[in-house]
Structure 1
Amino acid sequence: MIIKILLTVMKKMEVQLLINYKIKDILSGIKKSGSITETAQSLYISQPYVSKIIKEAEDELDIALLDRGSKHIQLSYAGQIYLEGLNSIDTQFSKLDTKMREIAQSQAGQISIGISESLGEEILPMIVPEFIKQYPNYQLNITELPSKQIEKAVIENQIDVYIGFNPPMNNQFVYRKMSENQLSLYTPQIDTSFPEEITDASQLLILNQQNFISISEEMVFGEIIKNFLSVNKLEPRHIIEVKNINTAISLANKGVGYAILPPQPNSKSAIPISKSLLKTDLIMAHRAIKNNTPEMIAFLKISQQEFHIDPDKQTIQGNTKRS
Structure 2
Amino acid sequence: MESNVNDVDKLINILDNVKSSDSLTEVAGKLYFSQPYVSKLINEMEKQYGIQLVNRKENPISLTNAGEVVTQNLKIIQDAQVKLNISLVDLKRTEQGVLSIAICSLVDGPSISYIAQKVHEKFPYLRFNFINLSGDLTDHDLINGKIDIAIGRKWNNLDLHVIPLPVSELALLIPETCPLYDEKADYIEFSQDNLSTLNDCEYIGVNDSSFLQRKVDILLKDNGIHVNKIMELPDSGQATLMALNLHATTITTENIARNSLAESDKYNLMMIPKENTSLDMGITYRKQSSEDIKKVAHTINELITDK
Q: Could you tell me how far apart the structure 2 residues matched to 1:303 and 1:216 are?
A: 24
d(CA) in 1 for partners of 2:228 and 2:234?
18
Does the 8 Å CA contact 2:98/2:129 hold for their aligned counterparts? no
Structure 2 unpaired stretches of 5+: 1-90
Give the drift of 1:219.
5.8
Task: Say yes or no: does 1:180 pair with 2:149.
Answer: no
| Structure 1 gap segments, 5+ residues each | 1-102, 310-323
Provide the residue aligned with 1:192 in structure 2. Answer: 182
Task: Name which of 116, 122, 125 aligns with 2:113.
Answer: 125
Give the AA of the match of 1:286. Answer: Y
Tell me which residue corresponds to 2:195.
204
Q: Which secondary structure does the structure 2 equivalent of 1:270 belong to?
A: strand
Structure-to-structure mapping, 1:141-180, within 5 angstroms: 141-151=128-138, 153-164=141-152, 166=153, 170-172=155-157, 174-180=161-167
Report the 3-state secondary structure (helix = DSSP H, G, I; strand = E; otherwise coil) of the residue aligned with 1:119: coil
The answer as to 2:220 corresponding to 1:229 is: yes
Task: Report how far residue 162 of structure 1 moved.
Answer: 0.8
Q: Deviation per CA, 1:275-322, whole angstroms, max 9, x where unpaired?
A: 3444644421235xx42420122112312332346xxxxxxxxxxxxx
One-letter identity of the residue aligned with 2:270: P
Give 1 or 2 for the bigger CA radius of gyration: 1
TM-score by length of 2: 0.54
Q: What's the offset of the Cα at 1:174?
A: 4.1
Task: State the shift of 1:159 in Å.
Answer: 0.8
User: Contact conserved, 2:187 with 2:271, CA < 8 A, in 1?
Assistant: no
Q: How does 1:1-323 map to 2 (within 5 A)?
A: 110-116=98-104, 119=107, 121-137=109-125, 139-151=126-138, 153-164=141-152, 166=153, 170-172=155-157, 174-189=161-176, 191-192=181-182, 196-218=187-209, 220-263=211-254, 264-265=257-258, 266=261, 267-276=265-274, 277-278=276-277, 280-287=279-286, 290-308=287-305
1:246 alignment partner, SS class: helix
Equivalent pairs: percent with the same residue?
Answer: 16
Contact 2:108 2:236 in 1 (8 A): no
State the 1:237 CA deviation.
Answer: 2.2
Read off the aligned partner of 1:272 and give its amino acid letter.
M
Q: Does the residue aligned with 1:159 lie in a helix, a strand or coil? A: coil
Q: Distance in 2 between matches of 1:242 and 1:291?
A: 34
**Aligned Cα root-mean-square deviation (Å):** 3.4
The TM-score normalised by the length of structure 1 is 0.51
The 8 Å contact of residues 163 and 301 in structure 2, kept in 1 or not, is answered as no
- The C-alpha deviation readout for 1:162-214, integer Å capped at 9, x for no partner, is 113x26xx423543223332222112316129883433344211122332222
